[in-house]
Structures are given as C-alpha cells and as structure tokens.
Amino acid sequence: MNLSKEKVNGILVVTIEEKEANLSKSDRFKELIVEEINVGERKIIVSFKNVEYLDSSFLGALVGVLKILLPLNGKLVITELNADIENLFELTRLNKIFVIKNDLQTAMLDF
Amino acid sequence: MEEPAININLKIPKDADGILNYIHQVVSALQERIALDEAIVRNVKLILVELVTNSIKHSNDDNALIELSVAHPTLTIQKVDKGLQIEFAEDSHKIPFVDVNKTVMVSFSETKKHHIKILDKYQFKFLDAYKEGITIDYMPEHFGLYIITLASDSFVYQHDPKLQENRFIVNLKLRD
C-alpha cells in the first residue's frame, strides 16, 4: 500500500499512491491511518487523485476509520474523487456521511 | 428492427491486481458492441468490480466467469462459478428455502445483513439495502452486495444443486 503523507497547517494530508484501492490494500490502509490516529492525528484528509476505482473492501476501511475518528472528535475529509468513485459514494448514500470536497484547497478550508 | 443479442464470456482473474485490466477489457468488449451512456457504464463498472471481488474472496473455482448479454432493453451481467451454495449465518434462513415468496432478513455475518425476497427453493432477490435508513452506527464495513443491489435494477442469486453452480444475476435497464 503506497501512501504519501504531508502535514499542512496541523492537518494530515494522505494521498493514496495507487490506481486500485481494493481488497488487497484495504486492511493495510486502515492500519496505517489508525496508526496516525493513535499518535494523535485528528484532522485527516485523504486524497484519491491517483485512484481509478475503489471497491467495497476499501470503502469498508474508510467507514472503519470514520467510526474510530468521530468519537475522538476527529474529522476526515476525502477529496479528488473521479466520477466513478463519486458515483459509488452517491449510490451508497455515503456522500451524506463523509465530508467530500472537490479539491485539496477546499478540503483544507473545511477544518 | 430488434438488435441481435450480444454475449460476452470472460474468465475472472484470480487476484485483486488483475481487476482493473479485467474491468477495462469487459467494458471495452461491451462498448464495441453497443452504445452505452456514461451513467450506465459507471454502474456496470461498480457491478463488475464487486462481482469479481466476490469471486476472488469466496470462490475456489478457477473457471469462474462473467457472462454479459444484452437483449434490449436489458443488460444482464452474471457471475457463474461452481461450488457450494451461498451460506448464511446460523440463525438465518437456509437454502433450500421453504418460505417461497416471502421477504426475510438474512445474515451473511454479524455485520452483513440483507433483506431478500425468496423466489423459489434455490433462488432469491436482494432488496433495498437501506431499508433501516443510514447512520454511522448501523453502517456495515462490507458493502459488496449492497453496491450491486443499488447499482442495478434487479439482483438475483440462484443455485443449481445438480450442477453445483452458483449464479449472481444482475439486470440493468438500458436507457433509450
């Protein structure tokens, strides 16, 4: 699972450096983000700018992260989704649960 | 004039790294034969990803395949594999069903619950995935079958006990 991480103005920006966000990567993704939460990160942006598709396992990992972060008064914003991934969030109505922003700049302003 | 039926059969990859190429291959094969609008293509991709993922996770059949057929106005996508019937959690209904035509809740595991309509002893249809509404507490972390249900017009599971064959049959209505 290739991720790049950057701390900007107190916000952890995680970029998924993979084309496929799928079942072979979902567990590791969740582990890596939970590690960040465990060391105190509460403001997290996940960018999907390199991701071509996202499957149900990865979606489940995102839900898992959100379930951990919300009770800690944390915030997760996801951004830079392509049209296929946007469709997935709309169809599953998870666009009502997750904060989704078009670009990184707008995502940063949400904190 | 009615267009001829289109059939495409493609063997499913055995690991997750093959999914992206497989989806491109299937969608290209489909688009070579029929014009599809973008919204349908997006849902076809979601359905294919989840059917292939389901196969990689749960099937031991090396010859599992996806069959696509178009008979206007319906596109049918089927995942076909050999093996035992789908299993529910212990407290759920069992195949062969007895309560034909009834709508029941089944559990695939603690976090995967679905409303289904029993069509016959060996066949059921997945129903509205969000009958209870959506909240972060209720939300499962396994969405595969939900996604297929939501992205299609009908989603039916069928088991053939003689052939030991499972079919996930997904229908989408094509727009004019």
CATH for A62: 3.30.750.24
Within 13 A of B63's CA, how many CA atoms are on the CB side?
Answer: 4
Predicted confidence at residue B4, as pLDDT, reads 53
pLDDT value, residue B7 = 75
Spatial neighbors of B26 by CB under 8 A, at least 6 apart, are: B8, B10, B48, B66, B68
B45 domain-assigned: yes
Closest by alpha carbon to A53, among B50, B1, B70?
B50
Enumerate the residues of chain A whose CB falls inside 8 A of the CB of residue B150: 91-92
Distance from CA of B16 to the nearest CA of A (A): 6
A68 reaches B (C-beta below 8 A)? no
Structural domains of chain B, count: 1
Distance CA B70, CA B8 (A): 9
Residue among B138, B111, B49, B129 nearest A97 (CA): B138
A61 and B50 within 8 Å at the Cβ level: the answer is no
Give CA–CA dist A101/A111, Å, rounded: 12
Domain housing A67: 3-109
Tell me the one-letter amino acid at B21: N
Task: Tell me which residue range forms the domain holding B64.
Answer: 6-73
Overall domain count for chain A: 1
Domain-embedded: residue B159: no
ipTM > 0.85 (yes/no) = yes
- Tell me the pLDDT band of B5, cut-offs 50, 70 and 90: low
CB neighbours of residue A106 within 10 Å:
12
Contact (CB<8Å) B147/A88: yes
pLDDT classification of B88: cutoffs 50, 70, 90? confident
Structure tokens given for B170? 């997904």
Q: Is residue B146 part of a domain?
A: no
Encoded amino acid at B34, one letter: I
For chain B, say whether A82 makes contact (Cβ under 8 Å).
Answer: no
> Can you give the pLDDT of all 111 residues of chain A as single tens digits?
899 999 999 999 999 999 999 999 999 999 999 999 999 999 999 999 999 999 999 998 999 999 999 999 999 999 999 999 999 999 888 898 999 999 999 999 999
Residue B29 lies in a domain: yes
Please choose, from the candidates B18, B68, B132, the residue with its C-alpha nearest in 3D space to the C-alpha of residue A55: B18
Q: What is the CATH number of the domain that holds B47?
A: 3.30.565.10
- B residues 13..72 contacting A (CB < 8 A): 15-17, 19-20, 23, 38-39, 42-43, 45-46, 49-50, 53, 56-57
- Chain B: residue nearest A19 by CA? B20
Ordered alpha helix ranges (H), B19-143: 19-33, 38-58
Weakest-pLDDT range from A85-94, B16-25, B126-135: B126-135
Residue in chain A nearest B129 by alpha carbon: A92
Average pLDDT score over residue span B99-107: 86
